[in-house]
Amino acid sequence: MSREMTFAASVQTVHEAGPCVDALLAQTTPRIGPDDGDLITLFLTAHYEDELSDIVARLRQSYPRAVLIGCTAESIIGNALEIEGRPAMSMLVASLPGVEVHPFHVSHPQHARARASQNWEPLLGVCGESEPVILGMADPYRFDVLTFVEDINEALPGAPVLGGIASAADGSGQNALILDDAIHREGLVGVALTGNLRVDAVVSQGCRPIGRPFIVTKSQDRFIRELGGKVAWERLQEVIAELRPDEEQAAQQALFVGRAINEYKPDFKRGDFLIHTLLGVERNTGALAIAGMPRIGSTVQFHIRDAESADEDLRHMLAPFRGPQAPSVAGALLFSCNGRGSRMWPGVPHHDAGVLREHLGDVPTAGFFCAGEFGPVGGRNFVHGFTASIALFRPRGVESVPVT
């Protein structure tokens, strides 16, 4: 009997590790049997750190054919729930017929050797021609995540990278990265997926544009000196002068610069800009410093971020997947910034997971709150902040949805 792509998810808050794993498996095994699991993603809080080896062994025994990947995190996401500040585990089990799952771990020395040789296939197990999708979780303390993601852009053009930075630690060696039987304390663990699989990447950076786009006509290092032939600070003041009072208040608290990934497009919309933090103003020149390297000739637009804009942006990005005409999604992974959740929406529990459920229905979902999120914008992968990065899984034969 042929298998179909199937996902099963469970989230549990039992304090004891053994019973918590039992509860996870009690919900997933009736849907996906032990011999049908191909990939398990597991996210758990550091409360279970002492029993982590036993947890891994139990899951490997329960799904002997499956690749296991995961990490520890500050807070956990599962189905329509976001569990913050207390013990929790979330697991997504996938049966993926016709899909090859290539697991890998990248340490700092391995990354350096691959960069030097420009030979990535032995490390990742795939080449660009196989059209892979990369899922990854990283520790930031002894691994250059930013450079690795940029290297993937060059080594595997067009391959989406989705995932996030483990958030359970405040120092080196404290995060746990799980790959099959191994528990790593540094680097990046990942899987490259190829074959009968389509993944729609939804990246909500939580901002909305204000004003109009400008061409960078003068820049230096991190400074935008002129926009459209005029001092950058003066252009910003022009934009702020046209804002509504509520928008002006948001701009005073959280103002950003969006850089168009493809400045040759005739017009721009959400999803076309990579968001950079506006760091400050050089008072004597009026130059704007951003967390990026602005290039002369590039197109930028100012953005604001607040709870309202973050909610609006997520709903906008998920809109193509809602309604009777939207293709069916089999499973989802949600990587949300640890600056979202109750920190962004106090008094509104389960925001991102709830919006995802509202748009997709009862789709099996797992995820965690990250210290940085991976996802593509304009066809290139970046490490984001304050972002919800979502992987939506379906068989390759199901029609894709353009995400704008």
Residue-wise DSSP of 331-371: EEEEEEETTSHHHHSTT-TTHHHHHHHHHH-S--EEEEEES
Residue 164 is assigned to a structural domain of this protein: yes
Do 12 and 91 reside in the same domain of the chain? Answer: yes
- Measured between alpha carbons, how far is residue 120 from residues 68, 71, 114 in Å? 22, 23, 6
Residue 70 inside a domain? The answer is: yes
Is 100 inside any structural domain?
Answer: yes
Residue 243's pLDDT band (cuts 50, 70, 90): very high
Least confident interval from 50-64, 103-117, 170-184, 261-275: 261-275
Domain annotation covers residue 401: no
pLDDT (average), residues 88-92 = 99
Q: Are residues 140 and 226 in the same domain?
A: no
Is there a single domain that holds both residue 84 and residue 167?
yes
One domain for residues 186 and 316? yes
At residue 215, does pLDDT exceed 60? yes
184 shares its domain with 247: no
**Domain that includes residue 153, residue range:** 6-204+312-394
Q: What does pLDDT average to over the chain? A: 94
**Mean per-residue pLDDT, 326-338:** 94
Q: Are residues 280 and 316 located together in one domain of the fold?
A: no
Last residue of a domain, one of 304, 331, 366: 304
Judge if 156 and 300 occupy the same domain.
no
Residue 402 is assigned to a structural domain of this protein: no
What are the backbone dihedrals phi and psi of residue 351, each rounded to the nearest 5 degrees, phi first? -60, -60
Decide if pLDDT at 127 tops 90: no
The average pLDDT across 347-371 equals: 97
160 with 225, same domain: the answer is: no
Yes or no: say if 197 and 395 are a contact pair by the CB < 8 Å rule: yes
Number of domains the chain is built from: 2
For residue 399, name the pLDDT band (cuts at 50, 70, 90).
Answer: low
pTM of the model: 0.93
Query: To 10 degrees, the CA torsion angle through 76, 77, 80, 82?
Result: 40
Token pair recorded at residue 383: 């490490």
Residues 135 and 245 in one domain: no
One-letter amino acid of 290: I
Whether pLDDT at 64 is above 90: yes
Q: Work out the burial of residue 156: count CB atoms within 10 Å of its CB; fewer than 13 is exposed, 13-18 middle, 19 or more buried.
A: buried
d(CA 25, CA 2): 23
Smallest CA-to-CA distance from 236 within 255, 208, 259, 217 is with 255
The amino acid sitting at 28 is T
Report yes or no on 13 lying in a domain. Answer: yes
Hey, what amino acid is at 42? L
CA distance 290 to 219: 11
Question: What is the Cα–Cα distance from 161 to 136, expressed in whole angstroms?
Answer: 7
| Residue 54: half-sphere exposure toward Cβ, Cα within 13 Å | 11
Whether pLDDT at 180 is above 70: yes
Distance (Å, whole) CA 276 – CA 292? 6
The reply to whether 102 and 184 lie within a common domain is yes
Residue 112: inside a domain: yes
CA distances from 116 to 48, 120, 155 (A): 38, 10, 12
Task: Report the pLDDT value the prediction gives residue 404, as an integer from 0 to 100.
Answer: 52
Structure tokens at 75: 């807070």
* pLDDT band of 51, cuts 50, 70, 90: very high
CA distances 245 to 248, 250, 251, 301, 368, Å, are 5, 9, 10, 19, 35
Phi and psi dihedrals of 315, rounded to 5?
A: -65, -40
What is the average per-residue pLDDT within 138-162? 96
For residue 270, what pLDDT is reported?
77
Nearest by Cα to 45 from 11, 92, 96, 5: 11
Query: Nearest to residue 51, comparing CAs of 22, 78, 81, 29?
Result: 22
Residue 401 has pLDDT above 60, yes or no: no
185 and 334, same domain (yes or no): yes
Burial class (CB in 10 A: 0-12, 13-18, 19+), 285: middle
d(CA 72, CA 48): 9
Task: Tell me 327's DSSP state.
Answer: P
Q: Which of 304, 338, 360 is where one domain is finished?
A: 304
Last residue of a domain, one of 273, 304, 335: 304
Does a structural domain hold residue 404? no
User: Are 186 and 239 within one domain?
Assistant: no
